[in-house]
């Protein structure tokens, strides 16, 4: 895409009330737009990142047998009442609304009860199990204070996977598969080296433990205790002798760190299937509740986390699997013969199916470089009169200090090896 | 995908309150699930169709310079008040909700004011124009009575494109491009031959006319007057002497038809840009409001329309560009040697990147064929002991009466030519 045609441009400043680095950089870069506190639109550059993150997650969900669906924001009160979670005193982050006939509806903050009710239509026999469904979906949480940019929103995109199994053993085996899939996802989006599977409380679901995936960052809201040797961590809530003994570690081996939760996985067991009567007939003839699991990743929050941890004060370092473009080609050319050479290189990238943002703007070189730093596209190419005179262009990785001079004719082949 | 692994199955009956054929067939086939009146989830088969429709629209929007974004459901009152459309007496289909501090919010039924406000951040000079942005997005309308399945929902997926131009001429030129793009879209999704560009009222936007794209169906809510010779139509609201004279047609050349609106395009002009003060500095130095257009397609409604018009009472005829799978391979094999042959053919399709639903279920042949009729996948392959004995399989187009016998070894090549 030519940068003159991009509908957004960079900004010197973020809104004054944005203190989180992730929101500051993403707003300044034109990746997101703040509609109100905790509510952000995704602009063309930001949506490209979101789609790449989603596609990575989708591939890993499909690989473990997940089937994608889309559910609805509007939720009926009845289903929620059966699970005891409609009352604002129990769940204090509901957004609620009303039909014309005054029937109250909720805006989904999770789809666990809805999918349990839905699957009653499709699960009746042991032959219908196991079933794994996932969704990328907007969730709504009426946070008293929305803060930290994309870390804690009132409206945000999540991936949720729900599993329905016959037995605890079947759930446990799938749960392990999800752990492996999640680890792959966090590696692929570029934060695998600082993301820890973290033992956490089972919450309200009646199981002893759940697991969070926590990414180390000083901007995080959580405190975790990391065992670097074993590559695991423990959440503050469950840091006790029993937990330590179970993990065969001691407290003095742990390092306290600030972190942000990018994913969580729960064994729901029969927490929802019992009250909502999602049952199946087993091979033995017994009628049993389905055994469920729930596995979330905050997609928007993940984009915020990548921004927070892979950035400097002037811009982002997008990992190549999630970068909005593979290549940022900056033209400093003024003479028409050089401009034509730059255009020809751009055309080569398009034909070679390499995603390129081509800075063809008529602005100062300094402004172009500052914007390129902010946008953080992994490979930077500079096309200038000076090097074109020798038939060369400059190529540099975003985190590399050295520039490589590459012959014009070899540029596509050179870049193809890097993307 | 193996049908034994699909999380849904077909149903004999749709909910009693669903009278529209589109909802009946889509629910019976396991494409959608009714959450409440006018609110449907998309199940794996249905989401595959939705994604194909979206991808066709996306390609055509990109081809005319559109840039994709995602906006938010939650909307601030202030922006809407400036356009005079916050009041329930003016817009009677609002869903509203509240923040914890009691601030009222709306759930977007359109994003026209929001994107006008957003673009104030990115448009200030004539150099920033034109700009074309589009979104696939859930919209909310608090319909008193939701009816007709996917034709009129309370929560539904729309594509909206918004254009920002310098002058009326620039808007008019882009408007013509959108018309051509829309015509391509309706042809590609399989309803081009019965979809008419229809002159309609300019509504509240202060222009004389807008255009709707209306698809002929007895189940439609609208009445239009079609000029088959000129391939255009006129909406009831604007059927008058002035209109007819403008189109150079006479009333007796028109045929009254029932139809459903699948798209609409409006010249908004400065209806939103003036009150929201979205202005730019022209080359002359004058400060002028941006000239806007708005272009919608109901994605879910389009899926409903395809179902309604390309179906029989027992099932759907999916056009190949939007079908959930290209091929439905039905195995009637019982002996293990034949089952192995069917599995091998399935593996060939997977390796050949042909989307195939493989009915490997252990159910009667009659049930398999009835389900295949209902699901409506365009190419049907029957693998049975009888033909395998001669090294052959049966291939048939969904709307063809004749079956073709194809050598097992030639199957992939034969099907590749058809998809």
Give A278-327 pLDDT, tens digit per residue.
999 999 999 999 999 999 999 999 999 999 999 998 999 999 999 999 99
The reply to whether residue B114 touches residue A138, judged by beta carbons under 8 angstroms, is: no
The reply to whether residue B50 touches residue A70, judged by beta carbons under 8 angstroms, is: yes
Interface test with A, best of B7, B62, B157 (most A CBs within 10 A): B7
Which residues in chain A have Cβ-Cβ distances shorter than 8 Å to B76? 35-36
Band the pLDDT of A20: cuts 50, 70, 90.
very high
At residue A158's C-alpha, the angle toward residues B304 and A45, to 5°, is 85
The mean pLDDT of chain A is 96
The reply to whether residue A50 touches residue B71, judged by beta carbons under 8 angstroms, is: no
| Surface-to-core class of residue A41, CB atoms within 10 Å of its CB (0-12 exposed, 13-18 middle, 19+ buried) | buried
The reply to whether residue B35 touches residue A142, judged by beta carbons under 8 angstroms, is: no
CA distance to partner chain A, nearest, from residue B120 (Å): 11
Those residues of chain B that have pLDDT short of 70 are none
The reply to whether residue A67 touches residue B107, judged by beta carbons under 8 angstroms, is: no
CA distance to partner chain A, nearest, from residue B215 (Å): 26
The reported pLDDT for the residue numbered B162 is: 98
The reply to whether residue A30 touches residue B142, judged by beta carbons under 8 angstroms, is: no
CA distance to partner chain B, nearest, from residue A359 (Å): 15
Which residues in chain B have Cβ-Cβ distances shorter than 8 Å to A5? 65
Q: CA-CA distance, A226 to A238, in Å (whole number)?
A: 13
Nearest CA in chain A to B10: A122
- Cβ atoms of A134 and A161 closer than 8 Å: yes
Q: CA-CA distance, B29 to B39, in Å (whole number)?
A: 17
Give per-residue pLDDT as tens, A189-198.
999 999 999 9
Pick B97's closest partner by Cβ from A6, A44, A96: A96
Interface test with A, best of B50, B64, B67 (most A CBs within 10 A): B67
CA distance to partner chain B, nearest, from residue A77 (Å): 11
Reply yes or no: is the peptide bond before residue A130 cis, omega within 30 of 0: yes
Pick B118's closest partner by Cβ from A41, A69, A122: A41
For A291-341, the DSSP string reads: EEEEEEEEHHHHHHHHHHHSEETTEE---TTT-S-SEEEEE---SHHHHHH
Which residues in chain A have Cβ-Cβ distances shorter than 8 Å to B9? 122, 128
The reported pLDDT for the residue numbered B357 is: 98
Give per-residue pLDDT as tens, A140-160.
999 998 889 999 999 999 999
The reply to whether residue A47 touches residue B69, judged by beta carbons under 8 angstroms, is: yes
Nearest CA in chain A to B38: A74
Size of interface A-B (CB pairs under 8 A): 129
Nearest CA in chain A to B97: A97
Strands laid side by side in the B327-331 sheet: B356-359, B327-331, B379-383, B392-397, B404-407
CA distance to partner chain A, nearest, from residue B69 (Å): 5
Which residues in chain B have Cβ-Cβ distances shorter than 8 Å to A11? 121
Which residues in chain B have Cβ-Cβ distances shorter than 8 Å to A66? none
The reply to whether residue B72 touches residue A40, judged by beta carbons under 8 angstroms, is: yes
pTM of the full predicted structure?
0.97
Reply yes or no: is the peptide bond before residue B130 cis, omega within 30 of 0: yes
The reported pLDDT for the residue numbered B289 is: 98
Which residues in chain B have Cβ-Cβ distances shorter than 8 Å to A42? 69-70
Which residues in chain A have Cβ-Cβ distances shorter than 8 Å to B99? 142, 154
3-state secondary structure labels for all residues of chain B: CECCCCCCCCCCCCCCCCCCHHHHHHHHCCCEEEEECCEEEECHHHHHHHHHHHHHHHHHHHHCCCEECECCCEEEHHHHHHCCCCCCCCCCCCEEEECCCCCEEEECCCCHHHHHHHHCCCCCEHHHCCEEEEEEEEEECCCCCCECHHHECCEEEEEEEEEEECCHHHHHHHHHHHHHHHHHHHHHCCCHHHEEEEEEECHHHCCCEEEEEEEECCCCCEEEEEECCCCEEEEHHHCCHHHHHHHCCCHHHCEEEEEEEEEEEEEEECCCCCCCCCEEECCCCCEEECEEEEEEEEHHHHHHHHHHHCEECCEECCCCCCCCCCEEEEECCCCHHHHHHHHHHHHHHHHCCCCEEEECCCCCHHHHHHHHHHHCCCEEEEECHHHHCCCEEEEEECCCCCCEEEEHHHHHHHHHHHC
Mean pLDDT, range A224-232, rounded to an integer: 95
pLDDT tops 90 at residue A165: yes
The reported pLDDT for the residue numbered B304 is: 98
Pick B72's closest partner by Cβ from A35, A44, A144: A35
Nearest CA in chain B to A162: B7
Which residues in chain A have Cβ-Cβ distances shorter than 8 Å to B121? 11, 33
Interface test with B, best of A15, A33, A362 (most B CBs within 10 A): A33
Give A415's strand partners: none
Which residues in chain A have Cβ-Cβ distances shorter than 8 Å to B73? 73, 107, 138, 140, 155
């Amino acid at each position: 895409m030519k940068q003159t045609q991009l509908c957004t441009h960079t900004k010197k400043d973020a809104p004054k009330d944005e203190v989180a680095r992730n929101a500051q950089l993403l707003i300044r870069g034109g990746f997101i737009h703040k509609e109100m506190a905790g509510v952000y639109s995704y602009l063309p550059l930001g949506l490209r990142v979101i789609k790449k993150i989603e596609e990575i997650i989708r591939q890993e969900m499909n690989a473990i047998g997940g089937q994608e669906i889309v559910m609805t924001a509007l939720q009926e009160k009845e289903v929620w009442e059966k699970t005891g979670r409609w009352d604002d005193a129990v769940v204090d982050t509901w957004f609620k609304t009303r039909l014309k006939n005054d029937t109250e509806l909720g805006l989904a903050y999770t789809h666990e009860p809805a999918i349990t009710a839905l699957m009653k239509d499709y699960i009746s026999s042991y032959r219908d199990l196991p079933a794994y469904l996932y969704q990328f979906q907007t969730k709504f949480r009426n946070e008293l204070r929305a803060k930290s940019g994309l870390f804690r929103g009132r409206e945000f995109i999540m991936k949720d996977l729900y599993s329905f199994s016959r037995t605890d053993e079947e759930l446990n085996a799938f749960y392990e598969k999800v752990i492996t899939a999640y680890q792959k996802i966090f590696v692929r989006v570029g934060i695998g080296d600082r993301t820890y599977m973290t033992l956490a409380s089972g919450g309200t679901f009646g199981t002893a433990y759940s697991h969070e995936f926590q990414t180390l960052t000083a901007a995080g809201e959580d405190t975790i205790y990391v065992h670097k040797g074993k590559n695991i961590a423990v959440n503050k809530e469950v840091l006790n002798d029993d937990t330590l003994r179970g993990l065969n570690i001691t407290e003095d081996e742990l390092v306290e760190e600030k972190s942000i939760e990018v994913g969580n996985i729960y064994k729901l067991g029969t927490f929802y299937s019992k009250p909502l009567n999602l049952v199946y007939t087993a091979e033995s003839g017994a009628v049993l509740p389905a055994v469920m699991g729930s596995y979330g990743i905050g997609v928007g929050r993940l984009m915020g986390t990548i921004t927070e941890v892979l950035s400097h004060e002037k811009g982002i370092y997008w990992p190549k699997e999630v970068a909005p473009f593979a290549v940022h080609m900056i033209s400093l050319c003024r003479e028409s013969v050089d401009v034509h050479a730059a255009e020809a290189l751009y055309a080569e990238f398009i034909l070679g199916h390499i995603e390129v943002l081509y800075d063809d703007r008529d602005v100062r070189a300094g402004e172009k470089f500052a914007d390129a730093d902010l946008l953080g596209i992994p490979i930077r190419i500079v096309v200038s009169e000076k090097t074109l005179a020798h038939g060369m262009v400059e190529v540099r990785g975003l985190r590399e200090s050295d520039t490589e001079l590459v012959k014009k004719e070899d540029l596509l082949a050179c870049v193809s090896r890097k993307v």
